[in-house]
Structure 1
Amino acid sequence: MTSRDVYRYQGLSSPRSIRLMVLHQNANLNSAQGLTCDLIEASADAPPSYFALSYTWGGELPSEPLIIQIPCTGATRLLITPNCAMALSLLQRSMKRRFKTRRHISVWVDAICIDQSKTEERSIQVAMMAEIYDRAKRVIVWLGENYAPKSWNSLAVSKPLSMLPRIEYDHNHGQDLSAARRRYQYIVCNETTLHRLRLAPYWTRVWTLQEFAHKTAAILCCDSHLLLFANLAHLLAVASKDETMPTQQGLDLHVNLYKCQGTTDRPFRAATNQLRRVLSMKASEPRDKIYALRALSPGVLGKMRVNCQQPIGEVFHEATRLMVEEEGSLRVLYFANRAKTTVGVPWDKLPSWTVDFATEDAEMRGSHKYYYKSLCAVSGGSKPILEFSRDGKSIHLRGVHVGRVTGLVSDIFPASSKCMKGTGCVLDNKIKDEMEGEPEQTFQHDCQSRYLDILGNFLKDVACLNKPDSQIYKMSSSLCRLLWWIIQGPKESEWSSSTPSSLTGQGMTAVSSVVEWDSRHFGSQCRVALRVGRLFFTSDQIAGFAVTSVREGDVVCLIAGLDHPFILRPRKGGYGSYTLVGPTVFAGAMGGEMWAANENELENFEVI
């Protein structure tokens, strides 16, 4: 392909103009003729009827030629990715069958209709993408050759299953219906096809969220037939699924947003569990992790102006501030402690509470569920009391200081740990000396468990402290309360009459009995309840469990509007000035016991 053959974009005449690809129909469906089209300019406010293609670029290099006809000059070529070329070829065949007399169809494809080499045009077009998809006659979803259904036949009969979710609420027939649901699922659909569809990388891409939320969205099958997602959604509602798969989590979010499309109240809220899922999704360009959500969050992220040249750090800082300010919520701060891994961003010059929305750190995904799902109210259910500085660099919060972290901080607990059933391990002899006169306790676990090594070493450090017995007892009681809260959940944060008698020992014996009780309830397997974090004690002998970055000198604070305590780090030379470390679980505070009785007693924290 010579330089004269290469297609060169002409600038659009106005900021409200878009390009449409007019795809020519081949006379013969089996023709080897390549893809041929015209590119026309249209008004975004009154465009002709067109289809919008939703697919993933998938990291492929453009290698397939697209022939673009230019009046007077003839044919030129634009290279597109193989995945895009296959989608257009199948769409061409599909439209040929549906519209036998039509010689061409209009399609909007981002990689073709936007001049990707012009940053200014890309910024304008990206800002209109939600509107472009919304105005389309139909959104065609292409999952890729390895993931799209081979034909619509294997999934087309999903529609009759729509009755199952509704009648499932009859508790008298719950078990029978569950069995019937599983039986019919295997009868009416190809389970392999459904599993392959779930694994599609399409569900993990953040841009597809707003593209997909269209009432007439249809899956393009490999045989070029279309399957309305409304029908497929019925099957997905009753089919079994694996919540641990990132693709399954992304698929669930797509389905939820699809079901809510068309409502006046947009379903996505910037500081909810949906954001946690979005953070694990992918984008080719870091800024797109924010820009792709503008249409789903018009009252918050929709206020941001799309600028593909704006520094990434500034985009993330502005997005975090808007989520706090416009939502009136501090929930987004739960994500601010994730490792800042996006390259090229001067994180040391940005506020510590800025979220890295494109981080590769997956630590917070699923490993601290009690930070997101547990029902607790350390601040007594109070509303946020906050104020940003004029430059937006610091946020002033109100709360209560409840402790300072000492040098007694554990190693980092693993996300999981091998445990072999039936093997026993006793506490270290130095710990047993502290338990003199008490019955020996054993853990039913593999003594090579990294998890229990860390816990045992931490208990040994406590037992070896040169402190009065009364303080050691206070520390062990606090640690028991903390472990019991984490293992049992917030509803069991207090010792109660239902607590097993084996947990009523004193000193470190009580701590070991908590772990042993948890092991017995999991088939003598050691459950890693403390995941990817550190245990610590404060100078007041109160135990806590926090994110991995906690260290000596940090302070534990209860913040108005946050359900969990947070770790803050005092800044050198700045009285009352802190940087954000992350959330924590703190013994004796999770139910609001340490919260101030009067709002006038709250302290001021400047977080920078």
Structure 2
Amino acid sequence: MWDTMDKPTEAYTYEPLPPPSQGRTIRLLVLDVLTDEADDENAPLTASIETHPLASAPPYDAISYVWGDDPLDAWLPLTIACRGKFSTVPISPNLDWALRRSRSHVRGTSSRIWIWADAVCINQTDIAERSAQVAFMGAIFSSARRVFVCVGDPPTEKADAAVAKLVKVATFLQNAEPDEAGEQARITADVLLHSRVSWWTALNEFLCRPWFKRVWVIQEVGLAKDPLVLYGRKSFGYRETMRTVSWAGTQELMLYGLANLLIHSEWPDWTLTKSERTFYDLLDHGSMLSCRDPRDRVYAFLGHPLARRQDSSCEEDRPIIIPDYSKSLGELYLEVTELCLRMVGLRALVAVEHTEKSLVDGYPSWVTRWHINNKRNNILHLPKQLFAAGGPDHTACVPHIEGALLRLSGAIADTLWRCFQIQLTGIDSPLSVNSPFGISFLNNARDPATYVGLVDMTALLTSENTLRMYRDAPTLIEALAVTLCGGIPRDLSSQIPVQGLLQLMSPSAMRRLQLDPTTLGSTSVLMYLRLLAGKCYGRVFAVTEMGRYCLVPRLARPGDEVCVIRGIDVPFITRTDGTRRVLIEEAYVHGLMQEEAMDMIAKGKLVEQELTIQ
């Protein structure tokens, strides 16, 4: 095409789409595919743009990719042919890679390919159009013939081939027939997987690619018929890859340190209609993902069936929230929080996180700011954790909203006395028994404040008022071990936290505490460190005035209240400033996780009151 025209210099001008009242309409990029003899790597991208009703659009492929943070002057021109004239649309280097890789994938089968890519097919400068298209983005991806998951080139040579081989072998291993031949093949494959450390290293590199951190991709692959990963020069199934990641987490292979991709591994297929989870759970699991516009932390999930409601006056279902980019972030978060409180009850408050700035941003403290991500996991982590701090009846307290006020029923069970910052060493890298890892605590009582090791911290605790709750060293160690990992998951032995913590001490230190260092296994510390990494990140260790051990938000400070709310499974940290009580975040408080506060209320040892959160 370049031989028959001059290089275009004019920017492409979008023609308005028909109004939404006339039905769903999309633009499609018609990308020219080169012949087998052409230089596919360096040839310019040329295309045209067509407009089609979604219901009658030609078979098209949708691209799932990362926009990237490249400056605009690094963007590349995409040549668009329209009515005999040529103009350009600037596209990011990542989209340029995705279009070239998609083009090469179909080369030899067609002279052109219909592509849907958001940056080109939506006029990004038209807020009304952008809002309207986002409202049915899920339908765009679910209607696509294929969805190409464009991850980019691998960071190391041949890593793409290693991941493709690993997924193939692991998929075979999971599907092996239970007969004799199948068992022999399974053993062979199992040995192969455990011996190929380079494969697992390559998989971890793959899972750390920017694509996995983007919020929009969850919807894009979740609604796809069969998403196909394009990684380097290789291609393989996305869902097979996620099944491999989930399966590896149940094996010793978890010790290779695979990236934590809960949102990907637990929500890989949105086409499955039955789910015990809710739209709130989807938002919560996706809160650590990134996006350019923080409103997309909500809008990016509206294509999920859990986010749809049937309108009796219309044949098409509608999202439970209508995308509106003219709405402020605070207005959107308030709307979503009120919706989640109606949807799942008081459990919705578990997602609340804060910074010092957000506590004074003018919006109620009980509103979830989905762009604030201080922690990796909630203390209330269903279904593996089973707490009942506020009693077993989740309907016992109905949230009552009056403007900016949230009225609840509960009790102030304790007050924070001292807080210690936690420092974890070597836990985010692949673990082995020889890894340099550890845990230390910032002792603010020293001048200057310094980090102390686990043994010194234990000695400090035995010399202070915590012995009111924990009378001897073994009891103290057990309480400390369980608190630091935020409780014991139901599928884990109750001895793992204690054994894991003890292995972080030297044998001589254990003997000084009258503990037996000879009863430990090497696996315990690795499993325990994984629990620490999941729960200590973004939190601090605290001791209350009553001597209880806690895992509390980093924002917490001495004098903050330990609040148990009727109907919520975990305690919360609240702060009273004059007449205003604000909600800080959920917490783990040893000795208050299983109805103890409710029992004290029943016995008259605690006073239940109306708690007004602002």
Report whether the alignment pairs 1:79 with 2:74: no
Distance in 1, matches of 2:394 and 2:31, equals 55
Report whether the alignment pairs 1:70 with 2:76: no
Select which of 334, 337, 341 maps to 1:320.
337
| Equivalent residue letter for 1:111 | A
Residue 54 of structure 1 and its aligned partner are, at CA, apart by 0.6
* Residue of structure 1 in register with 2:567 after alignment: 561
Select which of 291, 300, 324 maps to 1:283.
291
* Preserved contact between residue 299 and residue 326 of structure 1 (Cα < 8 Å): no
| Equivalent residue letter for 1:589 | L
* Residue of structure 2 in register with 1:104 after alignment: 112
Distance in 2, matches of 1:5 and 1:480, equals 75
Residue 515 and residue 59 in structure 1: after superposition, are their counterparts in 2 closer, same or farther (change >3 A)? farther
Residue 186 and residue 158 in structure 1: after superposition, are their counterparts in 2 closer, same or farther (change >3 A)? farther
Residue 236 and residue 339 in structure 1: after superposition, are their counterparts in 2 closer, same or farther (change >3 A)? same
* Residue of structure 2 in register with 1:388 after alignment: 400
* Residue of structure 1 in register with 2:584 after alignment: 581
Distance in 1, matches of 2:194 and 2:167, equals 9
* Residue of structure 2 in register with 1:331 after alignment: 347
Residue 117 and residue 174 in structure 1: after superposition, are their counterparts in 2 closer, same or farther (change >3 A)? same
* Residue of structure 1 in register with 2:440 after alignment: none
| Deviations 1:359-384, CA, capped at 9 Å, x for gaps | 2x54x215968899543322231214
* Residue of structure 1 in register with 2:542 after alignment: 535
Residue 481 and residue 401 in structure 1: after superposition, are their counterparts in 2 closer, same or farther (change >3 A)? farther
Three-state SS of the structure 2 residue aligned to 1:98 is coil
* Preserved contact between residue 51 and residue 136 of structure 1 (Cα < 8 Å): yes
Alignment of 1:462-481 (within 5 A): 462=465, 474=468, 477=471
Three-state SS of the structure 2 residue aligned to 1:594 is helix
| Equivalent residue letter for 2:13 | R
Residue 322 and residue 310 in structure 1: after superposition, are their counterparts in 2 closer, same or farther (change >3 A)? same
Three-state SS of the structure 2 residue aligned to 1:581 is strand
Three-state SS of the structure 2 residue aligned to 1:331 is helix
Alignment of 1:474-513 (within 5 A): 474=468, 477=471, 484-488=478-482
Residue 459 and residue 152 in structure 1: after superposition, are their counterparts in 2 closer, same or farther (change >3 A)? closer
Report whether the alignment pairs 1:308 with 2:325: yes
| Deviations 1:489-515, CA, capped at 9 Å, x for gaps | 76799xx9xx99xxxxxxxxxx99997
Three-state SS of the structure 2 residue aligned to 1:69 is strand
Residue 266 and residue 130 in structure 1: after superposition, are their counterparts in 2 closer, same or farther (change >3 A)? farther
Structure 2 residues not aligned, in runs of 5+: 1-5, 310-317, 428-433, 437-442, 444-449, 499-508
* Preserved contact between residue 413 and residue 454 of structure 1 (Cα < 8 Å): no
Distance in 1, matches of 2:203 and 2:221, equals 18
Report whether the alignment pairs 1:550 with 2:556: yes
* Residue of structure 2 in register with 1:219 after alignment: 229
Does 314-323 or 476-485 show the bigger shift?
476-485
* Residue of structure 2 in register with 1:412 after alignment: 421
* Residue of structure 1 in register with 2:612 after alignment: 606
Q: Compute the TM-score of the two structures, normalised by the length of structure 2.
A: 0.73
Residue 333 and residue 188 in structure 1: after superposition, are their counterparts in 2 closer, same or farther (change >3 A)? closer
Alignment of 1:189-268 (within 5 A): 193-213=202-222, 214-223=224-233, 226-233=235-242, 235-236=244-245, 238-239=247-248, 248-250=259-261, 253-258=263-268, 260-265=269-274
* Residue of structure 1 in register with 2:452 after alignment: 449
Residue 78 of structure 1 and its aligned partner are, at CA, apart by 1.3
* Residue of structure 1 in register with 2:140 after alignment: 132
* Preserved contact between residue 519 and residue 525 of structure 1 (Cα < 8 Å): no
| Equivalent residue letter for 1:248 | A
Distance in 2, matches of 1:370 and 1:514, equals 36
Residue 19 of structure 1 and its aligned partner are, at CA, apart by 0.9
Residue 233 of structure 1 and its aligned partner are, at CA, apart by 4.9
- Tell me which structure has the larger Cα radius of gyration: 1
Select which of 55, 64, 69 maps to 1:59.
69
Residue 27 of structure 1 and its aligned partner are, at CA, apart by 4.0
* Preserved contact between residue 67 and residue 78 of structure 1 (Cα < 8 Å): yes
Distance in 1, matches of 2:135 and 2:489, equals 48
Does 528-537 or 133-142 show the bigger shift?
528-537
Q: Compute the TM-score of the two structures, normalised by the length of structure 1.
A: 0.74
Distance in 2, matches of 1:570 and 1:188, equals 53
| Deviations 1:22-52, CA, capped at 9 Å, x for gaps | 1123345524541111111111343222110
| Equivalent residue letter for 1:13 | P
Residue 322 of structure 1 and its aligned partner are, at CA, apart by 1.9
Does 190-199 or 473-482 show the bigger shift?
473-482
Residue 602 and residue 166 in structure 1: after superposition, are their counterparts in 2 closer, same or farther (change >3 A)? farther
| Equivalent residue letter for 1:9 | Y
* Residue of structure 2 in register with 1:435 after alignment: none
Residue 569 and residue 152 in structure 1: after superposition, are their counterparts in 2 closer, same or farther (change >3 A)? closer
Report whether the alignment pairs 1:12 with 2:17: yes
Select which of 361, 366, 374 maps to 1:353.
366
Three-state SS of the structure 1 residue aligned to 2:588 is strand
Distance in 2, matches of 1:97 and 1:358, equals 45
| Equivalent residue letter for 1:354 | V
Distance in 1, matches of 2:389 and 2:183, equals 38
Distance in 2, matches of 1:514 and 1:133, equals 62
Structure 1 residues not aligned, in runs of 5+: 422-427, 429-446, 463-471, 501-510
* Preserved contact between residue 164 and residue 235 of structure 2 (Cα < 8 Å): no
Distance in 2, matches of 1:486 and 1:372, equals 23
* Preserved contact between residue 551 and residue 587 of structure 2 (Cα < 8 Å): yes
Residue 168 of structure 1 and its aligned partner are, at CA, apart by 10
* Residue of structure 2 in register with 1:437 after alignment: none
Distance in 2, matches of 1:133 and 1:87, equals 16
Residue 368 and residue 34 in structure 1: after superposition, are their counterparts in 2 closer, same or farther (change >3 A)? same
Distance in 2, matches of 1:587 and 1:227, equals 46
Residue 201 of structure 1 and its aligned partner are, at CA, apart by 1.6
Residue 285 and residue 513 in structure 1: after superposition, are their counterparts in 2 closer, same or farther (change >3 A)? farther
